[in-house]
Amino acid sequence: MMRLDLGALALRLVTYLAMGFLFFPILITIMVSVNPQEFILPPSGFTLEWFRQAWTSDTFVRAMGVSLWLGVAATLIANALAFMVVLAMVRYDFRGKALINLLIMSPLLIPTTIFSLALYVFFARLGFGSGIPALVIGHSIHVLPFAVRILTASMQNFDLSLEEAARNVGAGPVRTMFSITLPVIRTGLISSLVLCFVLSWNDFPISVFLAPAGWTPLPVELFSYIKFQYDAVGAALASSLILISIVVMVVIDRLAGLRRVLR
């Protein structure tokens, strides 16, 4: 009997250690960012001064603007494409569905290094190299499979008779779409929009290959910043990104279930 309990105890212990391993750097970053004395731990007080500096730094604010535009553009493009794909895949039967599905999920299967290099080489061939179009396209395609996956889950539960009823009382296809279909799948749609945005907002590998000089997304900017200095302002920016991501995770978990979405 003794041995069994030891096994269960060991399992619990390893899990807690692993959780500590996963969460320790996040915790440290947050502690450093609210500590009045740079890097002297334990914290001697509480301050938002570093956050103020991070959020008023010209470089960071400009990079946030870039990431915001990039994220919104990629999210809208990916979700528009994904919505049409999901309508076709869920509601129609046709040959070659498996192959099409493989193609649509392919951005997830290709290592990011290869995908980014391929786009870089391809756009260089077209004469652009890295640039805003390449960056937006790279991000849109990178997040597309996630949007397809979430929207598929919510469309599969859709009751088609709702749309039929709307048509029967005289609503056209556009009206039906906006007053029936979209509202019914809204939790899936919101999760998809939020997840795509965050994935784009936090992306480093694709951006570092494709971002043009002078249009640097936030993670690339943060990377060049911490290459030279590790001050509390950097920590405050990192903490802001962590907090935003955690809020988004909780929202997605409530709406769609985190596990189904990220797998």
Partner 1 sequence: MAAPLLLAPALVALLIFVVMPLLWVARTSFNQGVDGAYMVSAMTMDNYVRFLGSSWYLINTLWFSIRIAIVATVISVLLGYPVALFIAQTRGLQKSILMTMVLAPLLIGLVTLVYGWIVIFRGGGLLNSLMIAIGVYDEPVRYMWDLKGVVILLVYIGMPYIVLSLLDSIERINPSFVEAARNVGANRWRAFWSITFPLTLPGLYAGLVIVFTLNFSAFAVPLMVGANDTQMIGLVIYREALLNNDLPFASSLSVIMILANATILTGMAFLFGKLILNRLEAKR
Which residues from 240-259 bind partner 1, rule CB under 8 A?
Answer: 241-242, 245-246, 248-250, 253, 258-259
Residue 190 sits in the site that holds partner 1 (CB under 8 A)? no
Name the residue with tokens 């599905």: 101
What residue type is assigned to position 107 of the chain? P
DSSP state at residue 98: H
- Which parts of 137-156 interact with partner 1 (CB under 8 A)? 137-138, 140-141, 144
Q: Is 87 in the site for partner 1 (CB under 8 A)?
A: yes
SS3 130: coil
C-beta of residue 87 within 8 angstroms of C-beta of residue 188: no
Residue from 25, 36, 65, 183 touching partner 1 (CB under 8 A): that is 25
Residue 12 in contact with partner 1, rule: CB under 8 A: yes
9 scored as a contact of partner 1 (CB under 8 A): no
Closest approach of Cβ 98 to partner 1, in Å? 14
Nearest distance from residue 119's CB to partner 1, in Å?
Answer: 5
Of 60, 197, 201, 215, the one binding partner 1 (CB under 8 A) is 201
Show contacts with partner 1 in window 89-128 (CB under 8 A): 89, 91-92, 94, 100, 103-104, 106-107, 110-115, 117-122, 124-125
* Interface pick for partner 1 out of 9, 28, 160, 182 (rule CB under 8 A): 28
Torsion angle of the four alpha carbons 51, 53, 56, 59, in this order, in degrees rounded to the nearest 10: -110
Task: For partner 1, give the closer residue by CB, 80 or 165.
Answer: 80
Report the run of H or E that residue 94 belongs to, with start and end: none
Nearest distance from C-beta of residue 161 to partner 1, angstroms:
19
The answer to whether 44 and 35 are in contact (CB under 8 A) is yes
Alpha-carbon separation of residue 255 from 13, 190, 196 (angstroms):
31, 8, 15
Residue with smaller CB distance to partner 1, 178 or 223: 223
Output the six-digit token pair for 150.
């979430």
To partner 1, the closest distance from the beta carbon of 71 in angstroms equals 12
CB 210, min distance to partner 1, A: 10
**CB contact at 8 A, 45 and 36:** yes
Binding to partner 1 in span 34-53, by CB under 8 A: 39, 41
167: phi > 0 → left, psi -120 to 50 → alpha, else beta; which?
alpha
Tell me the C-alpha distance between 203 and 70, whole Å.
Answer: 11
